């Protein structure tokens, strides 16, 4: 089952929400509930201190009798992390995080680290209106181009060594160091690309612009 975590970052396009919301177990982190106003999708749970939601969100929660887990404003974890842990406890085998990036760089980076922490537990990715992000360790990855133009590999370890087939700039045991932009803005030539991570860890990011 897919778990859909919708946070309070930049509002997601309705077409993306529709793609993932149908049949999913949906948890909103606080202001993430704004994404569902005017749609046919009803979240299973809203989690947060509710300090950032507006009157429209409050009305949506009330009118739809949404289940709410109210958190204290003073806490050690973000609303998104608490919501994520609740989704993991529900037994899903895949998680998509929407509205997890935006104007708050601290929240965006923290959510990327939450993505990293899910490795080995469930398949997971972060999607916003322009990007799709996966965390990777050594292994083989088949990456679908879809409607994205660019693909980048950004290391978190001291370096990543990678090989690829189906990219504009082909690689064979290319070493991308942590303090380098070498892996940014390649392109998938056809419908799919094969990427092999030989060592290291980091993010694969598909981008539209």
Condensed to tens digits (0 to 9), the pLDDT of residues 104-144 reads 999 999 999 999 999 999 999 999 999 999 999 999 999 99
Question: So what's the pLDDT on residue 74?
Answer: 84
At a CB cut-off of 8 Å and minimum separation 6, what does 166 contact? 188, 189, 190, 192, 193, 194
Query: Of the candidates 106, 104, 207, which has an alpha carbon nearest to the alpha carbon of residue 154?
Result: 207
As given in the structure block, the two tokens for residue 93 are: 């085998």
Q: Taking residues 69-77, report their average pLDDT.
A: 86
Q: Is the pLDDT of residue 102 over 80?
A: yes
Query: Of the candidates 129, 142, 101, which has an alpha carbon nearest to the alpha carbon of residue 208?
Result: 129
At a CB cut-off of 8 Å and minimum separation 6, what does 100 contact? 5, 7, 9, 80, 107, 108, 111, 126, 128
Give the predicted TM-score (pTM) of the model.
0.94
Question: So what's the pLDDT on residue 147?
Answer: 94
What CA–CA distance (Å, rounded) separates 100 from 39?
19
What CA–CA distance (Å, rounded) separates 131 from 98?
11
For each of the domains in the chain, give its residue range(s) and CATH number, in order of start. 2-129 (3.40.50.10240), 135-207 (2.60.120.320)
Half-sphere exposure of 108 (CA within 13 A, CB side): 11
């Amino acid at each position: 089952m897919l778990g859909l975590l919708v946070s309070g970052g930049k509002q997601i396009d309705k077409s993306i929400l529709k793609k993932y919301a149908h049949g999913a177990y949906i948890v909103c982190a606080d202001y993430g509930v704004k994404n569902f106003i005017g749609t046919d999708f009803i979240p299973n749970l809203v989690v947060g201190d509710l300090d950032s939601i507006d009157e429209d969100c409050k009305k949506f929660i009330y009118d739809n009798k949404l289940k709410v887990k109210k958190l204290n404003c003073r806490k050690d974890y973000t609303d998104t992390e608490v919501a994520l842990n609740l989704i993991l406890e529900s037994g899903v085998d895949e998680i998509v995080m929407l509205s997890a990036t935006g104007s708050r760089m601290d929240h965006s980076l923290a959510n990327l680290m939450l993505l990293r922490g899910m490795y080995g537990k469930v398949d997971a990715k972060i999607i916003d209106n322009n990007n799709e992000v996966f965390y990777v360790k050594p292994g083989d990855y088949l990456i679908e181009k879809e409607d994205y133009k660019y693909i980048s590999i950004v290391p978190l370890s001291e370096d990543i060594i990678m090989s690829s087939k189906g990219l504009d700039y082909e690689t064979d045991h290319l070493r991308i160091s942590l303090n380098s932009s070498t892996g940014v803005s390649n392109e998938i030539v056809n419908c799919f690309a094969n990427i092999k991570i030989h060592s290291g860890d980091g993010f694969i990011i598909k981008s539209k612009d």
